[in-house]
Amino acid sequence: MVRLDWVQIPLYEPFRISNGAIAVKDAIVVSYRNGGVTGYGEASPMAGNFYSAETPESTWTALEKLVPAILRDADADLDVVVEGEQFAKAGLRGALLDRELRASGTPLWKWLGGEDRPVPSGVALGIFDTIDELLERVERFVKEGYRRVKVKIQPGWDVEPVSRIRERFPTLPLMTDANAAYTIRDAAVFKELDRFHLMMYEQPLGRNALEEMAELARSVRTPVCADESAESLSMLERLIELRAASIINVKIQRVGGIHNAKRMHDRASEAGLPCWMGTMPELGIASAEAVHLATLPNFTFPTDVEASSRWYLDDIVEPPIEIDGEGFLHPRPVRVSEEKLERYGVRRLEFS
Ligand SMILES: [Mg+2]
């Protein structure tokens, strides 16, 4: 039996980046029950084309086709059934794998070839109305233990906020994420940002501007990290070939699930490119998957996975995702609250 639950969890504050803002977190929880064991997966697109063309609506529609195909034939190739729709596939594949691992009592980190080790967590800060607000957030989250700060930038909100953070926190591990908001004509901005010894420039240029990104990477000291550009194994091959990035942000949802995400990690590792685990961001089921995956050896930078309480008034897992006082996450099994799936559910569908 497979059940889909579309849930909406309210956010503490709207999340703003260079291309929009949202106030509610949508996710579709996939529950797969077989032989008395239930596995859970999470398909976690943002509403309104936030980071990708996939939306909760398109993900739901894709799952309506993918689930019956899997129930007919457990080995069905999801990429043949539906083209694209990676978030939907991440949720379904996650549920199938989770059921298998729960049935055999195997921790996910172990199945992945990782280890039971703490994973450092970093905080991502959106764009604020004033730099003072931004500084207040940096201060608050550094106190909570987060081990690096990532600040979103866009034209008009870049050198000044970064310079003010640096002035106040001279040794803080700090990086920027432009979400593809610049072009190669803005290279001077990144040359100026080079002064602040940042860990990396995440996705400075457009998703497909790989040649320009390679050019930028050659002209700045700070390493360039591919995020939006690292959307598939074939894009990763192009990034490697062009030397367009020296760090890769791996996201489980974007690449269609944990199996493909592990392939991205392995390929990047082989090419000598360190990685870190990004988020879309997700609720507790998918965040936990990311923490387990992040225990693989080539994930060498802090993850974007944050505590549930960072964004959400509640989470669907118990206990919620938490960071310890030192800013680390721990790979643990999660318990999904059936009661919360009902409480926050806006749509439910069952297949048998
Ligand atoms: Mg990013």
For tokens 């990396």, the residue is 200
Q: pLDDT-based confidence at 50, cuts 50/70/90?
A: low
Residues 166-211 have pLDDT tens digits of 999 999 999 999 999 999 999 999 999 999 999 999 999 999 999 9
The pLDDT of 237-264, averaged and rounded, is 98
* Distance from residue 30's CA to the centre of ligand 1 (Å): 25
Backbone torsions φ then ψ of 299, nearest 5 degrees: -90, 95
User: Exposed, middle or buried by CB within 10 Å (0-12, 13-18, 19+), for 218?
Assistant: exposed
Give the active site residue among 152, 191, 262, 340.
Answer: 152
* Distance from residue 229's CA to the centre of ligand 1 (Å): 10
Catalytic-residue membership of 152: yes
In DSSP terms, 120 is beta-bridged to 328
Q: Tell me the domains of the chain and their CATH numbers.
A: 2-105+337-351 (3.30.390.10), 110-336 (3.20.20.120)
Give the active site residue among 25, 89, 150, 251.
Answer: 251
User: Exposed, middle or buried by CB within 10 Å (0-12, 13-18, 19+), for 220?
Assistant: middle
Q: Is the pLDDT of residue 69 over 90?
A: yes
The pLDDT of 254-263, averaged and rounded, is 97
Contacts of 295 (CB under 8 A, 6+ apart): 109, 112, 114, 115, 116, 117, 119, 331
Q: Is the pLDDT of residue 10 over 60?
A: yes
Q: pLDDT-based confidence at 52, cuts 50/70/90?
A: low
Encoded tokens for 38: 């239930």
Backbone torsions φ then ψ of 44, nearest 5 degrees: -125, 55
44 within 8 A of 87, measured Cβ to Cβ = yes
Catalytic-residue membership of 251: yes
CA distance linking residue 66 with residue 92, whole number of Å: 8
* Distance from residue 326's CA to the centre of ligand 1 (Å): 24
pLDDT at 16: 66
* Distance from residue 230's CA to the centre of ligand 1 (Å): 10
* Distance from residue 3's CA to the centre of ligand 1 (Å): 31
- What mean pLDDT is reported for the chain? 95
Radius of gyration from C-alpha coordinates of the chain: 20
Q: Is the pLDDT of residue 17 over 60?
A: no
What distances in angstroms separate CA 171 from CA 132, 161, 166, 326, one per listed residue? 19, 16, 8, 17
pLDDT at 21: 75
| DSSP for 260-309, written as a single string | HHHHHHHHHHHTT--EEE--S---HHHHHHHHHHTTSTTB-S-BS---GG
* Distance from residue 203's CA to the centre of ligand 1 (Å): 6
**Which is higher by pLDDT, 127 or 230?**
230
CA distance linking residue 288 with residue 265, whole number of Å: 17
**Percent of the chain whose predicted confidence (pLDDT) is above 90:** 91
67 within 8 A of 2, measured Cβ to Cβ = yes
